[in-house]
Structure 1
Amino acid sequence: MGRGLSRTATAAAGVLVLAGSLLAGTAGAAGAADAARSAGPTLECFGVPGLEDSTTATGVSTAVQGPATSSGTAQVRTGYANGVQYGWGRVVGGSGGRSVVFEVDIDGDRVWDCAAWTHSTAATIWTTGTQTSSSSSRAFRACVVPNWELCSSSVAVSITPWW
């Protein structure tokens, strides 16, 4: 029950932030991306620390990636900030408005517990990050979707395996 409620609250918070930015006139491609970054594991995921700006990470590499599609290729990336390893989602290539979704599983059931979305028309887009763990319970995956969907959606393309 806790996870379902948390998913609903996380999704609702993202919608409210996006709606607020639209009403305030701050949305658009950049405003929508900022609103999306405030949903999900921006600062933490059920107490697991997060990384607000994954572009500041060092020692970055691609852990897994999905198939190349006309909408882009989804990747789970990892890197370090202040000596701590984080993972995040990224899409490269493709064109048109689409979202990259980064799903986080923290209890090992390979069902998302937290998720971050970023929507953009840029060639490369990424999400915020979540701290990695040596525990097999924690896993990440990313996908490309046309709008604000999850990787389990029938419209998801270029889905990575869980990492």
Structure 2
Amino acid sequence: MKSYQKMMLTGNKAAAWGARLADVDYVPAFPITPQTEIIESLAQWFADGTMKGRFTNMDSEHSMFTAAGSASASGVRVFTASSSQGILYGLEMLYTIAGWRVPMVMVNVSRALATPITLEPDHNDVMSTRDCGIVQLHAETCQEILDFVLMGYRIAEDPRVCLPVLVNLDGFYLSFTREPV
């Protein structure tokens, strides 16, 4: 039996570790506060060879979700993350991806919607995806974030489901809180 070591991880880092443990092949990314730490961690792991596959910085959330859905439709294991206005900017593609019934996992670090920026947690971003046809899992702890990312692939890739999964966590509170995972 393997022994596992607990680490103190932020919610963002737990999401990144979930993607790493899921052995994803492709991460199209566009950083947006407060999800940036997820993307930074994955970019570093791809750059130093800890993770194999492809990491691509995209020019917008719309192109990020387009690339994610297209890659997943071709059989690639995909992970991506967004937040707030990024979810709204890519919303058109989220409906399309769900309609394609492609198995991929994304993380939403919930943040209020406003201009130019609101640094408060809020669920208006994730509620906008409610009717997209995406399976949603809402985490309350950093351990749940990591577990839900892994569970997301089991759910999404089950032929009886074959839908994208969105793991949601509260921005600024859970995203930056360190807990044993």
Higher relative contact order (CA 8 A, sep 6+): 2
**Structure (1 or 2) with the greater strand fraction:** 1
